[in-house]
Amino acid sequence: MPPKNRAPRTIAVGSPLTLPCGVTLPNRIAKAAMSEQLGEINGAPSQTLTRLYSAWGRGGAGLLITGNVMIDRRAYVEPRNVTLEDDRHLEAVGNWARAGSREGAVMVMQINHPGRVAIGPLNRLPVGPSALRPGTIGYNLRKPRALPLDDIADLRRRFVRSAELAVEAGFAGVQVHAAHGYLLSQFLSPIANQRTDRYGGSPANRRRLLLDIIADVRAAIGPRALLSVKLNSADFQTGGLDERESLDIALALEQLGIDLLEVSGGNYEAPAMTGVVQDSTRAREAYFLRYAENLRAESAMPLMLTGGVRTLEFMNDVLAQGAVDVIGLGRPFAVRPDIAAELLAGTQEPQTLPTAPRIPIKGTTPINSYLQLAWHAANFRRIAAGERQVSGPGAIRTLVAAGTTVTARALTQF
């Protein structure tokens, strides 16, 4: 259906898009966030990370969204995450921003706090909206500490400071991560958030922290910087955030003047963002298209669809229909850094690229997920080293070798 309050249009992946803040994307293909794990031990972006984004910047995408950047060095999603809580690494952050944007791509920093699924530092308790362990094996070893109001106020300041520093360093803006079971997503979830104060209980209270942070960040970075949010369409868990409540959150974010909403879904217990949990849109290629269509019926806000998008024909169809405005790709960029240029030229389909293999043992989904992430992380290093043709998945031993390497590096983080 045509989008609300917009005339029918002819749009394809190569069409530019001017967002409400005035920033123009040269095309509709985005590299979605993937956790690179290429920060230095002190939290600074490494030269390897900068070279990786230089390669992606030359690869034709209109928008590059970084992987997790931590707003607090006391809480990491993964080892070797970049941390931006003060200006001590601002020069290196600026080099990173320039590397990705030199050829015209728009660089946006994803800022995040993991909450109760923090993997480190190992000598600290994770925090969450409530003192409830997540259900995922490996992430439920430490019971989180419920955030008191003073710490929530500090959290708001940290999101603002990281956003200000990102823009000061040269990023076009930031994406606030409120999906995938991280801290802001935990506050939105009726399962993770069982508070009885102004940040819990009713849907309005559970979304209060996210909306307060978005209002704070917008006031800090101004109307001309790009402000995006990554939001779950649903948690895909019984009793979790459902689609109707998510739609209401999205409409509230539109009222606050965000420039781009990325639609995702799931969390560590139900990883819909990886395709493990399926809904009716899977048969139509994209994981979260139905939600995007339902939101479009109520909103004119620019939307980015990520997850399971694999053919150029599909991308152009949903763009022309007006269901979404930007197409996000993740893992294809981990295989071929110039996949966007090839899509724009019509010479490559993401579905034809090699993907990480799976261990053929029933019940090993967490192991497979970890090893596939490790395989993609190994490819990031190959891309940064200048290898034009990134190697294929190889045998299962390639997975194990990648996982061993990432684990060994992780042990040096904390």
Domains and CATH numbers, the chain: 17-347 (3.20.20.70), 354-414 (no CATH)
Positive or negative, the CA dihedral 267, 139, 69, 383 is negative
What is the torsion angle, in degrees rounded to the nearest 10, for the CA atoms of residue 382, residue 384, residue 386 and residue 389?
A: 40
Q: In this model, does residue 283 exceed pLDDT 60?
A: no
Give the C-alpha separation, 318 to 327, whole Å.
9
Give the C-alpha separation, 264 to 53, whole Å.
23
pLDDT at 242: 87
Which tens digit of pLDDT belongs to each residue from 380-410? 999 999 976 555 545 445 555 545 555 555 4
Q: Are 163 and 144 in contact (CB under 8 A)?
A: no
Q: Which residues pair with 264 in a beta bridge?
A: 232
Calculate mean pLDDT across residues 203-221. Answer: 98
Q: Are 288 and 276 in contact (CB under 8 A)?
A: no
| Identity of the amino acid at 373 | L
Residue 260 backbone class (left: φ over 0; alpha: ψ -120 to 50; beta: rest):
beta
Which tens digit of pLDDT belongs to each residue from 122-173? 878 999 999 998 766 656 678 999 999 999 999 999 999 999 999 999 999 9
Q: Which residues contact 42 (CB under 8 A, 6 or more apart)?
A: 89
Q: In this model, does residue 337 exceed pLDDT 70?
A: yes
Q: How far are the Cα atoms of 52, 74, 125, 233, 367 from residue 120, in angstroms, in the given order?
A: 25, 7, 9, 28, 19
Angle at 352 between CA 305 and CA 272, to 5 degrees: 35
Which tens digit of pLDDT belongs to each residue from 256-275? 999 999 998 654 444 444 44
Q: Are 48 and 384 in contact (CB under 8 A)?
A: yes
Give the C-alpha separation, 154 to 207, whole Å.
17
On average, the pLDDT of the chain sits at: 85
Q: How far are the Cα atoms of 30, 321, 322 from residue 9, in angstroms, in the given order?
A: 20, 8, 8
Give the C-alpha separation, 276 to 269, whole Å.
11
Calculate mean pLDDT across residues 25-52. Answer: 96
